[in-house]
Amino acid sequence: MIPAQNPVQRLGLGLAALGRPAYINVGRTEALPQQRTAQAMKERTRAVLDAAYARGIRWVDTARSYGSAEQFLADWLGERGHADVTVSSKWGYAYVAQWRIETEVHEVKEHSLERLRSQWAETRTLLGDRIDLYQVHSLTGSSPLFEDLELQHELARIRDAGVRLGFSTSGAAQAESVERAWELEIGGSQLFSAVQSTWNTTEPSVGRVLNEVHTGGWRVLLKETMANGRLALDPPEEFAAIARGHGVGPDAIAIAHALAQPWADVVLLGPASVEQLETNLDALNVELTDQELGTLASLARDAATYWGERSEMPWH
């Protein structure tokens, strides 16, 4: 896996907003093709991947539940032949919307042995040995994985075959999930060695624990650093003022704030267009002062309130 040594090497491209026609990110609809057909979304994904690669990004994060994202990525890797791209994916959610924008259920979560086996096989069919990191999608304290020894041993077989294992987290209890997963050992070794958590200016509650596991040797990835687009389109005034002072958009400040965390190995971007990617990358030219970092830290919200509001965000 690529060592994170300079700012652009610490950035990754997430495909959640590109692999399926509907998602919860605000500011996405206007940036997408007018007709979100599978072919149109594939072409958009290819354009964003090309632009990200040209700017030096070498990490791409996807998931089985991101619609056709794994297929789009596999096709792009096959066409371009890039051998220096680190790929991470996730299992646990199944995409069930059948390419519909308006539907009652878009994805269904199941942390079972059967789901792992079927989705790992699907991922391997598409991406072969290109998977560097395989993650449990949205691991919470209530996940049966913590009690299912057969499932843990199946994951350990993937780990022992040379694939790094990790998990993503969501919700107000992210820190507790990370702490509990840290204790999981199979065959004398930790089951996991990477974590992907939601961290942003308004929801930084998991930061202390992420710092601890980073110090302990885990790779830490940050997602939803723009609070699903809310920090880009409707930031607090103090946040917007910092962006104006640096002559960049609020999205760049959100990303720069994440990059300012020394324990964050990879900060994931989720643009829906090349234009959004370019404004995101303005973060590389931002050096936040101690005073600005203090102001941003003061904008943290109650985690339960944040996640309650996020749960009400519509797919569109």
Helix (H, G, I), strand (E, B) or coil at 5: coil
Q: How many helices (H) and strands (E) does the chain have?
A: 12, 12
Per-residue pLDDT tens digits for 53-64: 999 999 999 999
Give residue 7's pLDDT.
84
Two structure tokens written together for 194? 């990477």
User: Rounded distance, CA 47 to CA 17, Å?
Assistant: 14
Beta bridge partners of 168: 196
Sheet strands (E) in the chain: 11-14, 59-61, 86-91, 93-95, 107-109, 131-136, 164-169, 185-186, 189-190, 194-198, 219-223, 266-269
Encode pLDDT of 191-216 as tens digits: 999 999 999 999 999 999 999 999 99
pLDDT tier at 4, thresholds 50, 70, 90: very low
- Backbone phi, psi, residue 119, to 5°: -75, -35
